[in-house]
Structure 1
Amino acid sequence: MSDTPTLAPELQTIADFYQLEPEGHAGLASIYEAIEAPLREDFERLPASAQNIMGSFEQLHASVTYNLLGATAEALRMTQDADITEEQKASHLESVLGHGIKLMLKNLKAARRNPVLKRQLNAPFANS
């Protein structure tokens, strides 16, 4: 039996597309769970033209998750040995996740007028 978590289908598609090592799947799954509610809330406030850039919310969710992987790992590394409280560490991580979500949604809006960006956002799902 493997310690590698089972990923949601869209998240597995992203992991395969970017050739993410199985060791990274647990972190990916954690971020995926952590951002679902705030991402969905922000996504639902977008105009329909932005919501329709990707095939589904699930595809966007997986893409945002992957894009947050590096920033989240860096935030955890930086706060690990910092002389701050657990509450401050959690607040910093929440801030990193929130900022990443905002940037990805900004890209989603921009993709309405930029076909190249739209293709880039959808590339992992083009063959699925």
Structure 2
Amino acid sequence: MSDQTQTEKQPIDLATVSAELRQVIEFDGVPEAMYEMVTSIHEVSEEAVREAWDELPKSAQNVLDSFEQFHALVSVSQSFAGINVMEEFPTLNLPQDMTDEQKEQYRAELLDQVLHNCVKDMVKQLKKARRDPILKRDFTEVFTK
């Protein structure tokens, strides 16, 4: 039954997502197979990303035009990082005595940490961009095309 549900799922129409998220998805060439993941992360991460944005100095916030741009950049970054974690997880040498439940818990914690680190890294990069014209251009060119 789940296979049938998968095939019936409608692909995410980029016209239904925010303009900022659409711009980042298109600029980064995000594969269509990741659209659902990106939009899901975008929805659930807003509060945490907003907290990080609100703690940024105004000079760092001014690198971008809005919180929405920052949120879109973080969401796509988190999606790629999340995919990497999920792809690499089966190759980790976990203790033999770990139960499936413990492995799932560990994977969830690992994924949560990676997603949190994406926000921290984006904050750090945005702060650097205040004094680095090349990095600033890297941030802004996504939204000028």
Q: TM-score range by the shorter chain?
A: 0.7 to 0.9
**Which of 86-95 and 39-48 deviates more?**
86-95
Stretches of structure 1 that go unaligned for 5 or more consecutive residues are none
User: Structure 1 residue 93: deviation in Å?
Assistant: 1.0
Change over 3 Å in CA distance of 1:3–1:42 after alignment to 2 = same
RMSD of the TM alignment (CA)?
Answer: 2.0
- The answer to whether residue 100 in structure 2 is matched with residue 90 in structure 1 is no
Residue-pair matches, total: 127
Q: What TM-score results when the alignment is normalised by the length of structure 1?
A: 0.87
| 2:50 is aligned with 1:32 | no
Q: Which protein is bigger by CA-based radius of gyration?
A: 2
Out of 64, 73, 77, the position equivalent to 1:54 is 64
Q: 1:79: Cα distance to partner?
A: 3.5
Aligned position for 1:115: 133
Which deviates further from its counterpart, 16-25 or 79-88?
79-88
> TM-score, structure 2 length as denominator?
0.78
Q: Deviations over 1:47-94 (max 9, x none)?
A: 111111101100011111122222110112334686534332221111
Q: Which runs of 4+ in 1 moved over 6 A?
A: none
Which of 103, 106, 109 aligns to 2:124? It is: 106
Of residues 78-87 and 24-33 in structure 1, the stretch that sits farther from structure 2 once superposed is 78-87
**1:64 correspondence with 2:74:** yes
Which of 13, 17, 30 does residue 20 from structure 1 map onto?
30
SS in 1 for 2:29: coil
Q: Given the superposition, is the C-alpha separation of residues 8 and 113 from structure 1 closer, same or farther in structure 2, using an over 3 Å criterion?
A: same
